Structure 1
């Protein structure tokens, strides 16, 4: 179930001042919660997060938090970034166990853009969704939803109900009858003509 592991330390001091002190020592404050257990304050070396977080898979895979004398399996639930620096200020981790049903946002990857019929004909690709919330057992969470657009022509679109997903995976918006558009191919002249159209008198 686990593909990633990172060392973590428990922390007892909480609050903004304590968090600032931790960050000055190169540590990032975090909290671990869920699975019917008490929330636990932890901290992780910033240098380790700089190696982990650029990997897109880290956001949809179970991570083993290696604590002194114990281990916890968790998903990244939230990351607070500095407003203008590439610096993590705080993280939330959700405890999980094998087989548990969880909901998570996963990215949408579009396949075969270079061979898409509509793009080759001069159409413009519109990515309506870049991620979507899914529900699945924690060990079946997809890294991303793969959407093949090779057969789309100008004027065509795909909605969530038309997307194939792995066994055991449910698209959460469809549970609420929200069949969102995922991608479409537009005629490039439509936008230009709309901009050039004369305004009508009020």
Structure 2
């Protein structure tokens, strides 16, 4: 759990007019769906929701939803923004329990870039996938997928099969061994030896 708590109220009015009225009252309209229950129109305080979003751990992480003294785990799935004010105008929450397997996009983080032999020789890390979709239990969503570049040289290709997965996680795309990153030489060449040939 991220420690983020979202306090919500059930919205009685729905539709465009109801959403506008909710926003005028200082709330952001949303929808709670998933599980074995029907969708419920909800609203959260604009300030509280914005604070949760800006924490950096809102989307694709399990948070606590509080309503009328009850708590339930949810995964935020979407936030829509006003293009002028840059404020949230709508959000979607998905009901889960800690053992539910869900698909989330996890950011990729590269270790040891400063000691990577290929980068030291003048190569460049070419990141093909900045995030990787993983199927994970909702209670074990990793913050990031870590790839160690120690010992990597120019021309090396890092496929998803070479990446150590966190406990209980596996790539959502399993029918192909896709490339996560490569180390390319100067001018986009994969191999310095190829320059001399």
Shared fold (TM-score greater than 0.5)?
A: yes
Tell me the residue number matched to 2:184. 186
Unaligned runs of 5+ in 2: 190-197
Deviation at 1:162, TM superposition (A): 0.7
Deviation at 1:17, TM superposition (A): 2.0
Shift in CA distance, 45/122, structure 1 to aligned 2, threshold 3 Å: same
Determine if contact 2:105/2:132 at 8 Å carries over to the other structure.
yes
Listed one character per residue, the Cα deviations across residues 93-130 of structure 1 (whole Å, up to 9, x for unaligned) are: 00001211111111111222222222221111111111
Q: How does 1:126-145 map to 2 (within 5 A)?
A: 126-145=126-145
Higher helix proportion, which one?
A: 1
Q: How many residues align?
A: 189
Q: How does 1:1-202 map to 2 (within 5 A)?
A: 1=1, 3-174=3-174, 177-190=175-188
SS at match of 1:105: strand
Please report the RMSD computed on the Cα atoms of aligned residues, expressed in angstroms.
Answer: 1.7
Q: Runs of 4+ in structure 1 displaced over 4 angstroms?
A: none
Partners of 1:151 and 1:38 in 2: CA distance: 52
Listed one character per residue, the Cα deviations across residues 110-151 of structure 1 (whole Å, up to 9, x for unaligned) are: 222222222221111111111111112111221211111232
Deviation at 1:84, TM superposition (A): 4.5
Determine if contact 1:122/1:187 at 8 Å carries over to the other structure.
yes
How high is the TM-score relative to the length of structure 1? 0.86
Shift in CA distance, 74/119, structure 1 to aligned 2, threshold 3 Å: same
Partners of 2:102 and 2:134 in 1: CA distance: 8
Determine if contact 2:2/2:57 at 8 Å carries over to the other structure.
no
Shift in CA distance, 140/27, structure 1 to aligned 2, threshold 3 Å: same
Shift in CA distance, 125/18, structure 1 to aligned 2, threshold 3 Å: same
Determine if contact 2:60/2:77 at 8 Å carries over to the other structure.
no
Partners of 1:84 and 1:128 in 2: CA distance: 32
